[in-house]
Every structure is written in structure tokens, then in C-alpha cells.
Amino acid sequence: MAHETIKVEGGSPVKMWTEGVPVEPEAREQLVNTAKMPFIYKHIAVMPDVHLGKGSTIGSVIPTVGAVIPAAVGVDIGCGMMAAKTTLSANDLPDNLGPLRSAIEKAIPHGMSPKTRGYKGRDQGSWYEPPRTVDQAWLQLKEEFDAICEKNPRLRQTNNYKHLGTLGTGNHFIEVCLDEEGAVWFMLHSGSRGVGNAIGTHFIELAKQDMRVHLANLPDQDLAYLKEGTKHYDDYVEAVGWAQRFARINREVMMQNLIAAVRTVIRKPFETHVEAVNCHHNYVQKERHFGRDVLVTRKGAVSAREGEMGIIPGSMGAKSFIVRGKGNAESFHSCSHGAGRTMSRNEAKRRFTREDQERATRGVECRKDEAVIDEIPMAYKDIDAVMQAQQDLVEVVHTLKQVVCVKG
């Protein structure tokens, strides 16, 4: 499938896999601004779920040499997906899915209201008494975190240990899904929680401080960058790598607790295996492309090397996809991370009602109150159009439809 190429005067090209999918003018402008940065390598690759973000668009792949833009990586560092296929089938699920949702909500802290056992206080999305699964997982992270805090003491005063194994808010979710053959899957979406947010915010501020003299010359001050070879660059690469590890382990702990919660409701013995992967879609890492080692920032994009498995979720009430990468070099081996928003959260709340939400999520056991209207499916792009636009990036292996959805 052809992709559109935008030539940017004084900058690198922008290659867009967006045929048949709307792209807001503000997002195009933001892409052009990013493409004008002098350290962009080859071109920027744009996924079909692209939309306006902070500094850089969500749904873009930004390869750089000699510099990194902390705001392009963002503050939800390591946000991503995990999916596990089970040996259960649709017939094994109870007719009333309410108790199943309740068991999951009790097992995993989520949102910002005191809905579950085990956590209380001002930050309701964290553990009050973390379970053993959290203690064991934190041992994999503690030593490096202590070293990072020696250099950046303010990071010690964050939610870190008590956020491990928690969901968060916004578009983060936990789902029970059925694939095209009726097999039951567990799927979840979260990242590095409070500590990742603090790391992202801290280094965005440092980049702006380092560049204060140059900010006026930037197309957007959120494109402030850290240059390779500087202390802040090295510290950021170390901290962002740790946050991405935290995010991966966070999803693993949640999956353990999710499986245990389901076993309390469904008494039939079952096995699970992570057929799909545990994949980031907000992150930066060193990769080799077109014969050169570069830093690749995926802001709302998934790695899709040839044969690599990934997850592209739809919105609440829509389909999701387990995919296999085709290793398209022009996209820097990437694909979209979801459907992509078509409107802001405030606009969705203004435009839609609780009745709209109930209609759009009919058949899904989930919250249908005013507080989740900003996640209504109509606030997102058509996932089928998004998948059509990236046929040369991935192939669909499984199509999932959620039957239970827990939102933060």
C-alpha cells in the first residue's frame, strides 16, 4: 500500500501510512515542526492512528542521531500492552460477568477512587499493603532505582514501589476477550505509572533549562532536546530505560494478579501463555536502521520487525488485534498502537451522553457512567480503517472482542 510523503522545507520528509484515515491539520503541523529538528535520521514515519500530542504527535516514529527529545517520549514512559491466551473457551465464562469484573477490580488497584481493598489514602490508585507478587518484582528494580535517585534525588519522592502492579487512569484498561474461535484471552494496557511520569517531567524540564537560550528558535518549546555526550542525556537514557523495565514488569505483575482473580470466579482449571507479547508503545531505544545505529522514539507506535508479535487495541466496545510484523524498513519496523483519538476528552464529554455510552458498549461488562464517557468508542478512529491503512506493516493473526472491560 502506498504511503503519502510530505516534503518539509529545511527538514526531513514525513512518511504517512494514513490512507483512508482522517488526520487533523494541527497534527500535520506538529509533524512538520518535529521534522525540522536537525538530528532527525532519514524521515519521520507516521502511523494511521496519528493525532495531536504534547510536543510531538502520538502515532509517530522519530529516529534521531546525537540527541533525544524527552517530550516526544512523553511522561507515560513504557506504556504498552500485554495479552495472554488461555485454554478457556466462551462456554466456560459465567452467564453473569459482573462478579468476574468485580473480582478483577478488587485484585488490581485502578483509577483514583477507593473502589478496592488494599489501597487507600490520597493516591487511591496505589497499594496500601502491596502483595507478595509486588515485593518480589520490586527486587528486580530497586538497586538500579536507588542509583538513579542518587543522581536525581527528587525521584525518590514518587509513587514507585506502591504503583507496581497497578493500572492507572485514562485509557488504561484490563479486558477479558474472545478471539475468532471463541478462545478466552486476558489483555491489559498500562505503563510506568507515577514514577515514569516523574522521570519524564523531570527530564523535559532539564531539557528546557539546558536549551533556555535556544527555546525561541524551536518551532515548539516541547521539542527541547538533550544532546548526546552531556550528563543529562546519559542520565535520561539510564532513567528512561529503567522506567521501561518498570512498565514491562508492572504489566507482568498485573497479569499474575488478573489470572489469580479469574481463578476465584471460574473454578474450571485453565492454563495461560503469553502468545502475544508484552510490548511497549511509548518508548525510546537504540536500533539499527539503514545501516546505522540510531535512537528510535515510538510515541504511540509498536515495534513490528518481521515475525514479531504485537497488539493493536481498538476502543472500548471495538475489536482489538494480535498482529505479526512485516518488517517494513520505511516505517522503521513499526505499526500503530491503537485506533487513535479523533477528539479531546473534554470534547467527548461535551458531545456524548451516558445513554450513548451504554449503546456503544452494549454486550460488554464495563462501567457505563459519566466518568468514562471520554473513552467512548466514537471518540476514536475506526479501527478497521486504521488496520486497512497499515496492511504493509502488519498482518492480523487474531481478532479479539472484549466481553469484560475494567477502566482506570
Closest to 134 in 3D by CA, of 104, 166, 102, 157: 166
The tens place of each residue's pLDDT in the chain, 408 residues long, gives 568 999 999 999 999 999 999 999 999 999 999 999 999 999 999 999 999 998 899 999 999 999 999 999 999 999 999 999 999 999 999 999 999 999 999 999 998 644 444 444 434 588 988 899 999 999 999 999 999 999 999 999 998 999 999 999 888 999 999 999 999 999 999 999 999 999 999 999 999 998 887 777 888 899 999 999 999 999 999 999 999 999 999 999 999 999 999 999 999 999 998 665 899 999 999 999 999 999 999 999 999 999 999 999 988 778 999 999 999 999 999 999 999 888 888 999 999 999 999 898 888 898 888 888 888 889 988 999 999 999 999 999 999 999 999 987
**Could you please report the per-residue DSSP string of 191-226?**
--HHHHHHHHHHHHHHHHHHTTTTGGGSSSGGG--E
Number of domains within the chain: 1
| Residue 368 falls inside a structural domain | no
Burial zone of 383 (CB within 10 Å; 0-12 exposed, 13-18 middle, 19+ buried): buried
| Residue 161 falls inside a structural domain | yes
| Residue 108 falls inside a structural domain | yes
| Residue 208 falls inside a structural domain | yes
Active site (annotated) includes residue 337: yes
Total-model pTM: 0.93
| Residue 348 falls inside a structural domain | no
Specify the CATH number for the domain of residue 272: 3.90.1860.10
| Residue 292 falls inside a structural domain | yes
**Distances in whole angstroms, Cα of residue 54 to Cα of each of 185, 191, 223, 231, 322:** 33, 17, 9, 24, 28
| Residue 52 falls inside a structural domain | yes
| Residue 244 falls inside a structural domain | yes
Q: Which pLDDT value is given to residue 118?
A: 44
- Which residue in the list 172, 189, 281, 337 is annotated as catalytic? 337
Domain span at residue 43? Answer: 4-69+77-342+380-407
